[in-house]
Structure 1
Amino acid sequence: MTSAQTTLHVTPADTAEALGSGDLPVLGTPRLIALAEQATVAAAAGLLADGQTTVGTRVRFDHLYPTRVGGTVTAAAELTHRDDRLLRFTVAAHDGDGRLVGEGEITRVIVDAKRFMAKL
C-alpha cells in the first residue's frame, strides 16, 4: 500500500478561532482536514507521471479530540482503493500523546495539471 504522514505543531494561526470555524483557541477542523489532505498528496506522489497531480474530490472526516496550541498532531494516509485515476485513502490523525484526534476517508483524482488549469 502507498502511505505517508505529515506532522503539525499547532500555532495560534491553526486554531478554530483564527480560522473562523469556531471561537476556541484549539486546533480548527479545517486545519486538521488540510493536514490529512497533505498526507494524501504525499502518499499519491509516487503514483504520478510527469505533468500529473491530484485534486481532492471528497472528504469524510470526524474531528474527535481537541488539540491545544503548542501540541503536535500527525496525520497518516494510506491508499486503500484505486480505480484508474481515482484514489481513496483512509486517514487518521493522532496527537503527541497517541490519542486519536480525527479519522476519515479522502478521495483524490489524478489529473493532467495543464489541462485542469486550462478549464479555468
Structure 2
Amino acid sequence: MRHEVTEVDTAETVGSGDVPVLASPRLIAWMEAATVRAATPFTGPGQTTVGTAIRIEHLRPTRVGGRVEVIAEPPASAAGRRLTFLVRAVDASGELVATGEIDRAIVDRRRFLTTTPEP
C-alpha cells in the first residue's frame, strides 16, 4: 500500500508531536490496514480479524509530500487464531522508515460484536 504524506498525516495535526512530519499513529494505522488486507486468506465466511498487539519502531521522519510504501508480510500459517505480521515502511528513496510486528486474532464477526460491551 502506497501513501503520500499530507498535512492531515503530520504529528502536528494528529497531536502526537509538534513537527510537520508523518505521525507515528498515522503510520501505524497504515500498517494495520495493510495487515487487514493480508489477513484475508486466513479468514472464512463470517470471520474477520482484530488487532491485538503492535510493536513498531519509527526510525526516520517523512516530510509532507513524501511517499511511503507499507508492506505486511503474513505468516506462513495461523498459530491457532493468532496471526503475526512482519510490517515495514519504506520511503521513496528506499530508506526504511519503520519496521515491526502486528498481531491479529481471527474472530467470528457476529459473536465478537455481541460480546463487545457498548459504551
* Same fold flag (TM > 0.5): yes
Please state if 1:102 is matched with 2:62.
no
1:70-109 alpha-carbon deviations (Å, 9 max, x no partner): 1111110112362111000110100111110000000000
Q: Match for 1:15 among 1, 5, 10?
A: 10
3-state DSSP class of the match of 1:83?
A: coil
Q: Within 5 A, what are the aligned runs for 1:16-35?
A: 16-35=11-30
Q: Which runs of 5+ in 2 are unaligned?
A: none
TM-score for both structures, normalised by structure 1: 0.92
Percent same amino acid at aligned positions?
A: 53
How many aligned residue pairs are there?
115
Spell out structure 1 runs of 4+ moving beyond 2 A. none
In structure 1, what is the equivalent of residue 56 of structure 2? 61
Q: Which runs of 5+ in 1 are unaligned?
A: 1-5
Q: 1:110 deviation in Å?
A: 0.4
Q: Match for 1:39 among 31, 34, 40?
A: 34
Q: CA RMSD in A?
A: 1.0
Measure, in 2, the Cα distance between the counterparts of 1:75 and 1:22.
22
Contact 1:7–1:35 (Cα < 8 Å) also in 2: no
